Amino acid sequence: MSCPICEKRKPNRFCPAKGETICAVCCGTGREVTIDCTPDCPHLLAAHRYEDEHPRALPADTPLLDVNLPSDVIHTQQQLMAAFAFTLAKFCASRPEATDPDVLSAIQALAETYKTLRSGIYYEKPPDAHLPRELYAAIASFIAEVKQQAERSNSSAPKEADIFHLLVFLYRMGLLRTSGRRRSRRYIEFLRSQFPDAQELKREESRIIVP
């Protein structure tokens, strides 16, 4: 028998995503690129452990890298930060096809919008791709709801600057958490893991029996 992907090499790694055994080369080159890896795949987890030991540096031209984040913004806005993270995780749970690049694209676009707000000029440019645009709208809708609730309860609404800084923080954290591959969901899985008891984020158990 030969690997069902390359049809050349001997298969020696079971791929949970494909439900069959493939070769090590196809596993390594297709991982999170052409293969929608399951988060519990042992080979994916081993690759992530290796990447943790060899962290990637962000390129100098990374968007929003020049923003100086207040040292206390995460502490003072902890509740809002958790709500943002949950909103992202909940959206991705309802859209299993969502990937880290989708999430990062949505967060970056919304952060850029709030960056223009801080300068006094409102300029909104949602992502072109359909799924990131939906997530962009979901986060924007959540922010609007938070502001409306604050008005109804006569409490102070989050400041535009705080929202901007939290979005930048989430964006940077995502860049560092993701594997950088186009089908990576490592950042999404990290967000999901922050709410282990949330029923909305529960994943259906795999029916594939690993040999």
pLDDT tens, residue by residue, 85-107? 999 999 999 999 999 999 999 99
Strands 20-22 and 13-15: antiparallel
Same structural domain for residues 87 and 186? yes
Q: pTM value?
A: 0.91
> Do the domain assignments include residue 188?
yes
Same structural domain for residues 63 and 121? yes
Same structural domain for residues 123 and 24? no
Map 68-93 to HEC letters.
Answer: CCCCCHHHHCHHHHHHHHHHHHHHHH
DSSP, collapsed to helix, strand or coil, labels residue 52 as: helix
Torsion of CA 207, 208, 209, 211, to 10 degrees: -170
- Hey, which residues does 31 pair with through a beta bridge? 35
Q: Rounded to the nearest 5 degrees, what angle is found at the Cα of 209, between the Cα atoms of 183 and 8?
A: 60
CA distances from 165 to 6, 130, 150 (A): 46, 25, 20
Take residue 67 and report the two structure tokens written for it: 């923003």
> Do the domain assignments include residue 207?
no
How far is C-alpha 206 from the geometric centre of its chain's CA atoms?
Answer: 22
- Hey, which residues does 15 pair with through a beta bridge? 20
Mean pLDDT computed over 5-32: 97
Domains contained in the chain, number: 2
| pLDDT value at residue 122 | 80
> Do the domain assignments include residue 41?
yes
Contact 178, 47 (CB under 8 A): no
Structural domain for 175, as ranges: 59-201
Percent of the chain, pLDDT > 90?
82
| pLDDT value at residue 205 | 56
pLDDT per position as a tens digit, 176-205: 999 999 999 999 999 999 999 999 898 665
| pLDDT value at residue 204 | 63
> Do the domain assignments include residue 180?
yes
pLDDT for residue 121 is more than 70 = yes
